[in-house]
């Protein structure tokens, strides 16, 4: 066994940004000693019992959100091939550079087995019609080519990447939590793990994903690492029959639509559309349950429903400085009402201000794909302002794809995106502490697989110039 304690580079987290950082480093300089530290399991051991039991058994850590490939391993696996979607790389590196890195990371996904089909590039007449409908409803359609990995195919691709890194000499410590980053003389020198081990490196990269954003926010606070208050994204996951979304699904796969609501002028966006998919639960630290969605390539796992997120983006001003805690608090209210499960309400009951009951839910043509969701009342969970934003967004979407504002449409709560710890970085992704770089969703640099992967390539090249 390799018992080294000193390395050239330590990467905290084995999600897409960390994986692609390690990939680029070892490809360009095979002699480098690289350590990745991941609190979850190797990808082959990331098995969610709920797939067979239909009930969460409370694995610690959760195999859906942690482990090699991060939440991406079990996500729908959509790669957004435009810098306009999925993060802040264009703001940091420039639009053209971000586009170049996205294409390079896409080539790596293709090398490891991604589907060559790209959605949203060959149906211009149909896309023009969708754009026309969106304009009529005051919605902005963001055109973005999409490569769909699929949940099960994405798992295989990341399995190959894990095998490649290990065979190339990258050391990966699984089931290991980083307790702290060691700062000496104002510089980052190493890490301390929950196993009492201390590792040192010339360069440390924090590549934690959304699941680790709360941990990293505390590290930043404790060590005086410069941050900004990020955007809070809170909303619901919407589920409808495939027939309602057929035109959008067939021609765009994922229609990215943005709306500024008439009452409050708040930004609401669609996110993570899963045609013929299923609604799923994600569990974070301390058992916090939030809603998400998946879609599979295989016909065996396809359903008759499409789900997508509606997220309300809120920017707060001083003295507010805890966006992650705010999002958790809202999610905890839902968990409290539903005994740790996800709440579901029909849009008809949502509009009428009444709780959905088991009896009314059973009358629906639309059958929930999240079988253990608890019928309830979102008005007891979400602030009034967010409720109004969601209502106005769904009524606007109904003009683009009629039927989406049906009484039977299902709303699951709460969906929260934990990437609000916005770490201040330069173009090389260096933080205010020399020797420590921050990348990916957990640093609020990116918001998705593709830009996170591109971010990994970018920071690796910055490191190679310095080492």
Q: How far is CA 274 from CA 184, 245, 249, 306, 464, in A?
A: 47, 10, 9, 5, 38
For residues 323 and 101, the answer to whether their CB atoms sit within 8 Å is no
Quote the percentage of the chain above a pLDDT of 90: 72
Contact 71, 210 (CB under 8 A): yes
Residues 6+ apart with CB under 8 A from 362: none
Q: What is the CATH number of domain 6-114+149-228+423-466?
A: 3.50.50.60
Q: Which residues pair with 293 in a beta bridge?
A: 279
How far CA 379 is from CA of 37, 163, 350, 363, in Å, comes to 41, 47, 8, 22
154 pLDDT exceeds 80? yes
3 — pLDDT class (breaks 50, 70, 90): low
Burial of 78 (0-12, 13-18, 19+ CB in 10 A): buried
What's residue 62's pLDDT? 72
Query: For the ranges 4-13, 167-176, 314-323, which has the lowest average pLDDT?
Result: 314-323
| Assigned token pair, 219 | 């590290």
Pairing of strands 146-148, 78-80: antiparallel
The Cα 278–Cα 304 span in angstroms is 9
Whole-number Å distance between alpha carbons of 386 and 396: 15
Q: Which two tokens stand for residue 441?
A: 């969703």
Q: Is the pLDDT of residue 119 over 60?
A: yes
- Angle (nearest 5°) at CA 203 between 199 and 209: 85
pLDDT grade for 1, boundaries at 50, 70 and 90: very low
Which of 421, 447, 412 minimizes the C-alpha distance to 310? Answer: 412
Q: Could you report how far apart the first and last alpha carbons of the chain are, in Å?
A: 26
Buried-state track 413-429, b at ≥16 Cβ within 10 A, e below 16: bbbbbbbbbbbebeeeb
352 alpha carbon, distance to own chain's centre: 32
User: 374 vs 226, 294, 332, 363, 370, CA distance in Å?
Assistant: 41, 19, 14, 15, 9
Q: What is the pLDDT of residue 213?
A: 83
pLDDT band for position 75 (50/70/90)?
low
Sign of the Cα pseudo-torsion (291, 297, 302, 305, in order): positive
pLDDT over 70 (residue 52) = no
State yes or no: pLDDT of 2 exceeds 60: no
Q: What angle (nearest 5°) sits at the alpha carbon of residue 372, between those of residues 368 and 375? A: 70
How large is the average pLDDT for residues 237-266? 95
Rounded distance between C-alpha atoms, residue 384 and residue 336, angstroms: 19
Query: Given pLDDT bands bounded at 50, 70 and 90, which one contains residue 183?
Result: very high
Query: Is 244:406 a contact under the CB 8 Å cutoff?
Result: yes
Delimit the domains of the chain by residue range: 6-114+149-228+423-466, 124-148+231-417
Q: What is the pLDDT of residues 196-218, one digit of tens each?
A: 999 999 999 999 988 888 899 89
Which residues does residue 292 pair with via DSSP β-bridges, in sequence order?
Answer: 280
Write the pLDDT tens digit of every residue in 100-115. Answer: 999 999 999 999 999 9
Give the Cα separation of 400 and 175 in Å (integer).
Answer: 46
């Amino acid at each position: 066994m390799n018992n080294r304690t000193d390395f050239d580079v330590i990467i905290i987290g084995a999600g897409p940004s960390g994986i692609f950082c390690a990939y680029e480093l070892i490809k360009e300089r095979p002699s480098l000693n690289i350590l990745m530290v991941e609190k979850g399991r190797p990808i082959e051991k990331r098995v969610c019992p709920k797939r067979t039991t239909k009930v969460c058994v409370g694995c610690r850590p959760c195999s859906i959100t942690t482990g090699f490939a991060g939440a991406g391993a079990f996500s729908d696996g959509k790669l957004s091939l435009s810098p306009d979607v999925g993060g802040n790389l264009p703001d940091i590196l420039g639009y053209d550079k971000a586009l170049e890195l996205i294409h390079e990371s896409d080539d790596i996904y293709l090398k490891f087995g991604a589907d060559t089909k790209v959605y949203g590039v060959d149906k211009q007449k149909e896309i023009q019609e969708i754009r026309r409908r969106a304009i009529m409803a005051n919605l902005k359609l963001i055109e973005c080519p999409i490569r769909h990995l699929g949940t099960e195919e994405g798992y295989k691709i990341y399995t190959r990447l894990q095998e490649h890194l290990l065979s190339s000499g990258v050391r990966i410590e699984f089931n290991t939590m980083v307790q702290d980053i060691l700062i000496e003389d104002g510089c980052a020198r190493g890490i301390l793990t929950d196993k009492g081990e201390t590792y040192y490196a010339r360069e440390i990269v924090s590549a934690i994903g959304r699941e680790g954003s709360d941990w990293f926010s505390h590290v930043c606070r404790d060590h005086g690492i410069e941050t900004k208050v990020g955007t809070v994204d809170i909303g619901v996951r919407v589920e409808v029959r495939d027939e309602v979304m057929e035109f959008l699904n067939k021609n765009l796969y994922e229609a990215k639509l943005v709306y500024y609501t008439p009452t409050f002028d708040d930004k609401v966006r669609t996110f993570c559309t899963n045609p013929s998919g299923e609604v799923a639960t994600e569990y974070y630290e301390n058992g916090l349950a939030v809603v998400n969605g998946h879609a599979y390539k295989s016909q065996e796992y396809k359903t008759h429903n499409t789900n997508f997120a509606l997220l309300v983006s809120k920017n707060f001003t001083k003295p507010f400085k805890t966006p992650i805690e705010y999002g958790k608090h809202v999610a905890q209210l839902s968990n409290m009402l539903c005994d740790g499960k996800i709440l579901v309400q029909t849009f008809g009951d949502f509009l009428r201000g009444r709780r959905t009951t088991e009896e009314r839910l059973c009358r629906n043509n639309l059958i929930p794909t999240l079988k253990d969701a608890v019928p309830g009342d979102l008005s007891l969970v979400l602030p009034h302002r967010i409720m109004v934003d969601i209502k106005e967004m769904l009524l606007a979407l109904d003009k683009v794809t009629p039927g989406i504002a049906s009484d039977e449409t299902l709303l699951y709560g709460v969906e929260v995106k934990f990437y609000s710890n916005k770490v201040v970085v330069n173009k090389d992704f260096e933080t205010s502490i020399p020797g420590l770089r921050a990348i990916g969703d957990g640093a609020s640099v990116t918001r998705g697989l593709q830009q996170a992967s591109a971010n990994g390539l970018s920071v690796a090249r910055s490191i190679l110039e310095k080492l």
